[in-house]
Structure 1
């Protein structure tokens, strides 16, 4: 209530501001709110949320490390209760809640948050599943060895100090930091109106970049990125694309796509596929990730998943996602990437405190600030050490004078009335300083022995040598920088490790092909239409005649018919025996174990009822379709003019060469297949009772070698066959004997000068075969009967395949029982045409036969297995079967006519 004893004050004049009463001042509320908010914001930004660019630490982390340092909790000391550390930090440095300090301490321990943890914890400090740490009264901690390199030389006046919150003690404003901790461990934090998000990096890479910058101050960011290709997350994973990394390093802002590492495994018994996740993106909660996947499956937003379980243990992370039998694993995985945290974006903002102000810096600027900090630290440390060394030298010089006049000084001390008198007399007699005289008076008698006297002189020499070294550092910028480099190299030697996060090329918008590394694959196709792929490296090379290795599992009624080697990025033309072609990619074929059957090809391409796969043609890249291609496809035409064919040959246009079981052949330009339909398109007209058996890519100028089951072969020029449209029928390639049929159509060409000459490898059903010089197959006109290529005796069985190989290549043979052998071509005997050959693979029964043959490009793994044993027959070592002659008894060679045969 107002005091009624006082008269009311007169109202103030309208133009004059109300006067203050000495305790209150009237201000504009907008100005006061603006000023107070800015003060609060800067306090949060500088004092809590953002790291310092020099040591990469926020104030709370710096205070925790320094408090542990002062408590003596180093890596080689015992653990101490975290409660004591939290209490020490709260008491002296950080006047906030205990939970904020303990949470910060816990993060310094967690190896899934910190690429290089700074605190060594004992007890429960949480998990990657988001489990909280135990209370600080249960856990213990001490500094990691790496933290000592952040705090090294802090007691040598290397950094600035400031008063703590109550002026009771001093705390460091920054740590000396011998390595770029801000980049190595990263940081994240939200301030007022700004946020920082700095990813962790590999220690060795960052240190190498810092050293390079010290030695080359004008280095550009692309040069530094040769050392630091990108972040290296503690949870590993895969970074997709380099554009985001480059933008972040150049501008301080960018977005990086991080993907989990997942593999597709096949259960050996059930043949069920499963996606196994062993690495997840940085800062993704594994338990919530698994829960989210389960929710999507329950809500029918993810199809093809039958079971989900977390098998993670101390040995590592392992999340297993089992698939249904009809699911395509790569498609399911692609959906997981698109709809879950298995693929996330990491937003990079390189914001930190620089010179007391928040700034966004690029990669070079961050390293420059660190190098400048180290230059300042080393300079201040050197000055401190020089000061200490000079003080020690001063004392040692006094000892030297005393030792030179030892008897006189002893006599002087004995006669002196007291300590002060002795000191003054020594100073007057020998020109000593007060410090020197005092040190001599405190010198123990044991130091006067001969050995101890020499130690004093040796120490003086060492101190003087140290002083010269310290002066050199201060006098030379080059020497100073070399000290920084040497200390960085020491850190790298002690703490650098292998990169965990893989960096892959830019995948675009989840294009499946871009997500798969390009590598050579062995693709197998069974009689019942099961297809699968495996890396070529899965099969080791063996010597001929071996038993082989399981290449694919098969039911009793099924067997393998063919295999080939192609890149995962290659296109596949799947030709059916009815003359249609379907389009596919190698990476779309599911990968399975060697013993697995694979997937039905009808699930990958839409074969018509009754159709079987006849040939699969790998094509590296499709040419652009010719003008009017759409009309050509719609009309299913045949007939390209001879002029068009000549133009195609001159332009090095590729052709598709097709052959049927009854000896019909056809050639069509490759660009006619550039726009296939999902339901397939006609590749060749097939007559009743015939079937397509082979498709090959040609350049229009090669030779063609047709081989038959009864051991006949014909070689003719490809120009004998003019190019026709896709819907056309073929022309006669070889005249067949009764019961005979074509088994192979190979495109061959004589070797050019300086090139290895190709040879013809012929393989029979019972596992025998041989190589023959191409020159032994003389050119004929298409349509003839051909000449003998191998004797098809009861021992050999019919011919399965004939293919062109070089000595530097390796070949694979596979049987209808799933056994596969890989051997160098040079290990197969090179003999004449009219011969039986040698054993290439051992078949165990009459029911087992060779089903397919394929070449492997040179440069694959070396041949494994023992060489022929000592004492083995020379024929065995030379690649021949002992006791079995190469040639037939008669040596005859029936030949067909050279006419057209049409």
Structure 2
């Protein structure tokens, strides 16, 4: 064992750790970008997709051939070309076959390949597949040395670096992927529109993006939908290669007779799972987030049919749908980030550069195929020239073959033949000596000579190349014409209707309720305005009891103040009913552990509140600043370490003074104008303490005096009219309160 140590030491590299880590991470990042996540601009494919189609081609899975098991294809791919997991390869194959994922599928699947509900495909041993016509077009020319090949990872096979076919797959089927430090997101487009734009750019190379947008209206998604993005936003996105598109579900009103109606959703947005969409719609009903929505039903078979029933016939359909677009995935934003590999380098390109560079690739492929064909023709013409010489001197050729010891050498010398021509003559069959064969060879020689002349002209003349590309693109457009199933535009272009949304509160029927919250945070809402004094008699969980009870309306907003200074907003119509113990507040709001409820009250617009922490700091705040939009609430007061929000009180109209009393039983009265009004913060000192903190604080009218309840449950109050003795500047220490002030140091009014 010791003898191995010197050898191991020779393999140890002395290098800075950050440099070594950076070098290795860069290699990994480049590999992820170029060989996994970003598509090639020329064929729009990632390596795994390209290897899948190549393997299927070698298995001769053409559209006119029988299907083969997907497991066979995946096995060939991971064994010969793509040394990764079979699950990831099969997932990539499944996507190529899904007509709701790709605008023009490249794999023709037989069996369960998943659905729009989000169900997974069957196992690869059950499903079968073959290539589609689009995949054949994409690989057309691979046998004609049109693109370079490279050896596979084990050096045993070869695979194409890119596909040469004349099919604009990058824009037609789009792409999505996340690399290291970058990502790509290209939505699908209509094949006819892309071909039309390519034809225009082919004849007008100086055309700008605006000219191309006369042909390309926007993305065309496999699942249809309605694109409601403004034209100027679409133009900017295609010009820069970055942006997003608003996509909505397609819907229509269906008359049910007698004035009733329902809304039918016939197309859902791209990549939105219908099953999850139904769950979203159902949750709006169960959580009472949209009162004008009564029911939702999924009546889909092969076609999407989601039935939405309004609460009443008086509901406006546009208002209902605009609300659903806002609250659910019936409207989504589809990102555009045309980050592609251009000559092996990643970059974000606009619409024009993508089409222009694709046309450059197609021109290069056309030239490579033409040179390959020209080479094959020249080789055949050489053979035909020798055969024609043989027919002109048939008797002598036969004599040489019969009598000569080295027939090949004598034929070459006698008729000035090349080695290839002499070999072709010697390999002729006797049946080829008939006169008809000579005529056929003469005609073939003439036709090939003419074809070779045309190919040389094509290779030398860019105008001829443009003419040929235009003819090929026109043929492609005919195959995917606007009247065909694949060429017909599925996503409509429209402007979003200007519908004024009604606030959710306005949709709720106004009814009186009584809200009760227990000391442990269980809340419920009883119908009607019950006697608040009788709420103590309600049933509570063992060890729990009443804490807050007040009247409200179902259209109000309920504000919950927590001891950490955060405020939360609840809708009363969504609170549990009065039967039972209610539900914990922590299920409705994200209340931090250990945080207590300080106050619960009905929001009153255009009023101010006094917030005070236990350390005697506070400020005024407008009630509008307390409303929160999410479960996480809104941080309004930021108590200092060791303190908490202790008092939340309404400031009544006309109040001009603040009364604060500390745990040291000292009372201070100062003008309300000395207390600042803030949106959020820690506030300012209300009273100065040597020990302890604040007990209570309130505002009042100086002219009316300061009142507090008298003990004994008599309900009587006592008022101190002359408060000169206790009046001082804010943050003063204060003095002992008047005789008879409550021992609990609470104003309780």
- For residues 189 and 42 of structure 1, do their structure 2 counterparts lie closer, same or farther at Cα, with a shift above 3 Å needed? same
Are 1:460 and 2:445 an aligned pair? yes
Determine the structure 2 residue equivalent to 1:398: 386
Give the CA RMSD over aligned residues. 1.9
1:321 to 308, 312, 319: 308
Contact kept? 1:303, 1:332, Cα under 8 Å: no
Cα deviations by residue, 1:367-403 (Å, 9 ceiling, x for unpaired): 0110110011011111111111100000000011011
SS at match of 2:266: strand
Determine the structure 1 residue equivalent to 2:87: 99
**Shift, 1:346, TM fit:** 0.8
Contact kept? 1:54, 1:177, Cα under 8 Å: no
Give TM-score, length-normalised by structure 2. 0.64
Contact kept? 1:214, 1:371, Cα under 8 Å: yes
**Shift, 1:214, TM fit:** 0.8
Cα deviations by residue, 1:764-811 (Å, 9 ceiling, x for unpaired): xxxxxxxxxxxxxxxxxxxxxxxxxxxxxxxxxxxxxxxxxxxxxxxx
**1:272-283 equivalent positions in 2, closer than 5 A:** 272-283=260-271
Determine the structure 1 residue equivalent to 2:493: 503
1:177 to 165, 179, 189: 165
**1:59-458 equivalent positions in 2, closer than 5 A:** 59-240=47-228, 241-268=230-257, 270-314=258-302, 316-325=303-312, 326-417=314-405, 421-458=406-443
In structure 2, how many angstroms separate the alpha carbons of the residues matched to 1:380 and 1:450? 37
Cα deviations by residue, 1:435-466 (Å, 9 ceiling, x for unpaired): 10111111112222122211111111111011
**1:697-708 equivalent positions in 2, closer than 5 A:** none
In structure 1, how many angstroms separate the alpha carbons of the residues matched to 2:338 and 2:491? 20
**Shift, 1:22, TM fit:** 2.9
Determine the structure 2 residue equivalent to 1:889: none
**349-358 or 241-250: which moved more?**
241-250
In structure 2, how many angstroms separate the alpha carbons of the residues matched to 1:70 and 1:488? 26
Contact kept? 1:163, 1:171, Cα under 8 Å: yes
In structure 2, how many angstroms separate the alpha carbons of the residues matched to 1:458 and 1:207? 38
**1:695-734 equivalent positions in 2, closer than 5 A:** none
In structure 1, how many angstroms separate the alpha carbons of the residues matched to 2:296 and 2:215? 40
Cα deviations by residue, 1:408-461 (Å, 9 ceiling, x for unpaired): 1011111123xxx11111001001011101111111122221222111111111
Are 1:473 and 2:473 an aligned pair? no
Q: Which has the higher helix share?
A: 2
2:14 to 26, 39, 42: 26
**Shift, 1:306, TM fit:** 2.5
- For residues 289 and 429 of structure 1, do their structure 2 counterparts lie closer, same or farther at Cα, with a shift above 3 Å needed? same
- For residues 165 and 322 of structure 1, do their structure 2 counterparts lie closer, same or farther at Cα, with a shift above 3 Å needed? same
**Shift, 1:139, TM fit:** 0.5
In structure 1, how many angstroms separate the alpha carbons of the residues matched to 2:234 and 2:171? 13
Determine the structure 1 residue equivalent to 2:573: none
In structure 1, how many angstroms separate the alpha carbons of the residues matched to 2:2 and 2:415? 85
**Shift, 1:491, TM fit:** 1.2
Are 1:41 and 2:29 an aligned pair? yes
Contact kept? 1:264, 1:273, Cα under 8 Å: yes
Contact kept? 1:276, 1:320, Cα under 8 Å: yes
Contact kept? 2:141, 2:165, Cα under 8 Å: no
In structure 2, how many angstroms separate the alpha carbons of the residues matched to 1:243 and 1:318? 33
Cα deviations by residue, 1:736-782 (Å, 9 ceiling, x for unpaired): xxxxxxxxxxxxxxxxxxxxxxxxxxxxxxxxxxxxxxxxxxxxxxx
- For residues 511 and 112 of structure 1, do their structure 2 counterparts lie closer, same or farther at Cα, with a shift above 3 Å needed? farther
- For residues 254 and 335 of structure 1, do their structure 2 counterparts lie closer, same or farther at Cα, with a shift above 3 Å needed? same
SS at match of 2:411: helix
SS at match of 1:278: strand
In structure 2, how many angstroms separate the alpha carbons of the residues matched to 1:405 and 1:422? 15
Give TM-score, length-normalised by structure 1. 0.54
**Shift, 1:20, TM fit:** 10
In structure 2, how many angstroms separate the alpha carbons of the residues matched to 1:448 and 1:179? 46
SS at match of 1:306: strand
In structure 1, how many angstroms separate the alpha carbons of the residues matched to 2:122 and 2:71? 11
Determine the structure 1 residue equivalent to 2:613: none
In structure 2, how many angstroms separate the alpha carbons of the residues matched to 1:473 and 1:164? 34
Determine the structure 2 residue equivalent to 1:683: none
Contact kept? 2:134, 2:167, Cα under 8 Å: no
Cα deviations by residue, 1:212-255 (Å, 9 ceiling, x for unpaired): 11111100100000011111111110111223321211001011
Determine the structure 1 residue equivalent to 2:651: none
Cα deviations by residue, 1:812-855 (Å, 9 ceiling, x for unpaired): xxxxxxxxxxxxxxxxxxxxxxxxxxxxxxxxxxxxxxxxxxxx
In structure 2, how many angstroms separate the alpha carbons of the residues matched to 1:360 and 1:142? 33
**Shift, 1:506, TM fit:** 5.6
In structure 2, how many angstroms separate the alpha carbons of the residues matched to 1:168 and 1:317? 48
SS at match of 2:409: helix
- For residues 122 and 20 of structure 1, do their structure 2 counterparts lie closer, same or farther at Cα, with a shift above 3 Å needed? closer
Determine the structure 2 residue equivalent to 1:728: none
Contact kept? 2:262, 2:308, Cα under 8 Å: yes
Contact kept? 2:249, 2:331, Cα under 8 Å: yes
Contact kept? 1:272, 1:323, Cα under 8 Å: no
In structure 2, how many angstroms separate the alpha carbons of the residues matched to 1:208 and 1:406? 56
Contact kept? 2:194, 2:215, Cα under 8 Å: yes
In structure 1, how many angstroms separate the alpha carbons of the residues matched to 2:73 and 2:448? 39
Are 1:489 and 2:474 an aligned pair? yes
> Structure 2: 5+ residue runs without aligned partners?
482-486, 503-749
Determine the structure 2 residue equivalent to 1:587: none
SS at match of 1:84: helix
Contact kept? 1:242, 1:506, Cα under 8 Å: no
- For residues 135 and 20 of structure 1, do their structure 2 counterparts lie closer, same or farther at Cα, with a shift above 3 Å needed? closer
